[in-house]
Amino acid sequence: MQSTLGVEIDATPLDIHTPFDARLPMPDTVQRGTIVWPYAITIGLIHLLALAAVMPWLFSWSGLIVAIVGVHVFGQAINLCYHRLLTHRSARVPKWLERTFVVGALCCLQDTPGKWVATHRFHHNHSDEVDDPHTPLVRFLWAHVGWLMVRNSATSNIDMYRRYARDVLEDPFYMALEKRSIWIWIWLAHTAAFFATGLAIGWSTGTLTEGVQFGCSLLVWGVFVRTVLVWHITWSVNSLTHLFGYSNYETSDHSRNNWLVAILTVGEGWHNNHHHDPASASNHHQWWEFDVTYWQIRALEMVGLATHVVRPRHVRHAARDAHKSGAALDV
């Protein structure tokens, strides 16, 4: 069977009621003991820096607001761009806007677009099978974060990139992100911008010490706390939505619709709906399944910034049937 991504998918249905304590082994391609140190150190360090938020000297209501707003703004660079635009090609936007979203995604420290897209497409091709790089059927923490810290030869090779992300890497900017360390400088620049903004505001309204204090507050809350929150919200789609929730459809995996994750991810938590119809720009299948990300795509479409928006499967099928009926009448 061919998926909407152009890769082969095993469509043999699983028993969706298989108990979750029936664990799967780690993929054979996981090199146990081979720690991906850049990932492990970065994840650990950012978590430690985020803990500085408990210091009263670094708290400000402005910093807290910036963190909350930033979770949505930067998080949508992952949800809307990396996931729906790049991975599933659910819509198209102008290249300048797409690259702007990608820069925002790079500020979340969730990998380059080529790596992110290839890994996620690989997940769809092997969802909740032994080869799935982050199924929670191995164990919850493995799906949530552990898989990032151990080398997996199946998802870290050029052939996998060529098969699953060739279309993305045809863009010279995205290819440059893979070949060079541009993304590091983008992240450092955005980090410096948060501190500099706070420093300038605090100094202009008070003393230099107050400027440094406010700059550090925006840095800790607007960058480190926000990054940790976006990480765990994104990771919860890999872990929680394959363990807890309800299913509208019988799919070939354990995907679930999880209302809590859906709220935190503004629509990504309707995961069973997504695995049923990954090409769709919308995960909204029941009236209560609000999908803010889809509303944003529709808003972009209404102002002319999004085209080729893929409607849900039942809408596509109805349009196809209507077209066939009209063609038959013309004959």
Domain-located, residue 102? yes
pLDDT for residue 84? 98
For residue 331, name the pLDDT band (cuts at 50, 70, 90).
Answer: very low
Domain-located, residue 215? yes
Cβ atoms 143, 242 nearer than 8 A: yes
Domain-located, residue 47? yes
Sign of the Cα torsion 143, 149, 152, 158 reads positive
Express each pLDDT in 84-104 by its tens digit: 999 999 999 999 999 999 999
| For residues 239-260, average pLDDT | 95
pLDDT for residue 14? 36
Domain-located, residue 292? no
CA dihedral 7, 11, 12, 13 (to 10 degrees): 130
3-state secondary structure the chain: CECCCCCECCCCCCCCCCCCCCCCCCCCCEEEEEECHHHHHHHHHHHHHHHHHHCHHHCCHHHHHHHHHHHHHHHHHHHHHHHHHHHCCCCECCHHHHHHHHHHHHCCCCCCHHHHHHHHHHHHHCCCCCCCCCCCCCCHHHHHCHHHHEEECCCCCHHHHHHHCHHHHCCHHHHHHHHCCHHHHHHHHHHHHHHHHHHHHHHHHCCHHHHHHHHHHHHHHHHHHHHHHHHHHHHHHHHHHHCCCECCCCCCCCCCECHHHHHHCCCCCEHHHHHHCCCCCCCCCCCCCCCHHHHHHHHHHHCCCCECCCCCHHHHHHHHHHHHHHHHHHC
| For residues 195-202, average pLDDT | 98
Domain-located, residue 234? yes
pLDDT for residue 288? 94
Domain-located, residue 279? no
pLDDT for residue 4? 37
| For residues 1-5, average pLDDT | 38
Express each pLDDT in 131-178 by its tens digit: 999 999 999 999 999 999 999 988 888 889 999 999 999 999 999 999
pLDDT for residue 22? 55
pLDDT for residue 286? 93
Express each pLDDT in 259-296 by its tens digit: 999 999 999 999 999 999 999 999 999 999 999 999 99
Cβ atoms 86, 114 nearer than 8 A: no
Closest CA to 195 of 214, 170, 169: 214
pLDDT for residue 326? 64
Average confidence score pLDDT of the chain: 90
Domain, as residue range, for 59: 31-247
The pTM of the full predicted model, rounded to 2 decimals, is: 0.89
Domain-located, residue 274? no
| For residues 188-205, average pLDDT | 97
Q: How many domains does the chain have?
A: 1
pLDDT for residue 230? 98
User: For the ranges 11-15, 241-245, 317-321, which has the lowest average pLDDT?
Assistant: 11-15
Whether residue 1 is predicted with pLDDT greater than 60 in this model: the reply is no
| For residues 62-78, average pLDDT | 97
Domain-located, residue 255? no
